[in-house]
Amino acid sequence: MSQHTLAIIAGKGALPHRIAEACRTRGEPFFVLAFKGETDEAFLATVEYAFIRHGSVGETLALMRQKNVDRVVMAGRIERPRLRDLKPDAKGAQLLARLGKAVFAGDDKLLSTITGFFEEEGFSIVGAEELLEDGAAPAGVWGAHRPDRQAEEDIRLGMKVAKSIGALDVGQAVIVQHGYVLGVEAIEGTDRLIARCGELKQGDGGGVLVKVAKPGQDERVDLPAIGVETVKNMAAAGFSGIAVEAGHALVIDRDATIAEADARGIFLVGI
């Protein structure tokens, strides 16, 4: 019998690439399920993959069984499709019926229903942090720069706000500057939150991005994540630092992320 395979459901960003690299290092077979216009084309040039549609659930399940997949990891941001564009097959219609109002709810409810569906079909769901060495965010300050007293106060406020919106299944991130909440993450994602809040910045200096896991969420999917691009975006917007929930967030390319933050004067801290 052939060796079992990990399926990487690959969205945007560097996380799918890093998981593939980790699999190669361990000699672990993997196969990528990609989305046109979303999964990075440069990444796809280096892996075995197949494009899937959001509504083609039956076709995707058949492909996974053909490739002897036994485990699935969801990696990278995937834009929600419009309902009128789904065109579901029979299995897709079955999943859509189960989703019900979750289609219009937050990501946590939607993803928990989807992961439950995969498990009932015989696949195990694994978290990205299980596949990456040093992927989980450590506690403490990571690089050369430290938050000052105002930043520490902003982090405390940001934690409270982020946990509150997370409990409502709204988002995972908030940006606080000098005691003012500039914005909270909704459906747009962290990169757009940073860009939007950059236009609302109050004078020079300060401003912290705080990312936390939603209370009670399934941490195998959709853990808050930061990486090199997050640091670049924060620096471009003129903010001073990033704080994430230690042990409940991913740091993609930790060494490179710390080096980028050190070079740009951005502090990184796990809380």
Give the whole-angstrom CA distance, residue 169 versus residue 184.
Answer: 12
**249 Cβ neighbours under 8 A, 6+ residues apart:** 136, 137, 211, 212, 213, 223, 224, 225, 226, 270
Kind of pairing between the strands at 267-270 and 140-141: antiparallel
Specify the pLDDT at position 153: 98
Show Cβ contacts of residue 102 under 8 Å, excluding neighbours closer than 6 positions. Answer: 109, 110, 113
- Report whether 175 contacts 230 (CB < 8 A): no
Task: Name every residue whose Cβ is closer than 8 Å to that of residue 84 and which is 6 or more positions away in sequence.
Answer: none
CA atoms of 14 and 226, how far apart (whole Å): 10
pLDDT at residue number 151: 97
Statement: residue 97 has pLDDT above 70: yes
Q: Is the pLDDT of residue 102 over 60?
A: no
Interval 211-251: pLDDT, tens: 999 887 777 887 899 999 999 999 999 999 999 999 999 99
pLDDT of residue 1: 41
Q: Write the single-letter amino acid at 243.
A: A
Burial of 22 from C-beta contacts in 10 A (0-12 / 13-18 / 19+): middle
Pick the CATH number of 140-270 from 3.50.50.60, 3.40.140.80, 3.40.50.720, 1.20.1420.30: 3.40.140.80
Mean pLDDT over each residue of the chain, to the nearest integer: 89
Cα 71 to Cα 68: distance, rounded to the nearest angstrom: 9
| pLDDT band at 2; cut points 50, 70, 90 | low
Q: Are strands 173-177 and 208-211 parallel, antiparallel or unpaired?
A: antiparallel
Neighbours of 66 (CB within 10 A): 10
pLDDT band at 185 (very low <50, low <70, confident <90, very high): very high
The dotted CATH code for 5-131 is 3.40.50.20
24-38 pLDDT, tens digit per residue, is 999 999 999 999 888
Phi/psi of residue 119, each to 5°?
-65, -40
| Beta carbons of 96 and 216 less than 8 angstroms apart | no
Reported confidence tier of residue 168, pLDDT bands at 50, 70, 90: confident
β-sheet bridge partners, residue 137? none
Confidence band, pLDDT 50/70/90 cuts, at residue 83: low
Identical topology for domains 5-131 and 140-270: no
- Does the pLDDT at position 163 exceed 70? yes
User: What residue spans define the domains of the chain?
Assistant: 5-131, 140-270
Task: Render pLDDT for 246-258 as a digit per residue (tens, 0 to 9).
Answer: 999 999 989 999 9
Per DSSP, 174 falls in state E
Distance, CA of 229 to CA of 210 (rounded, Å): 15
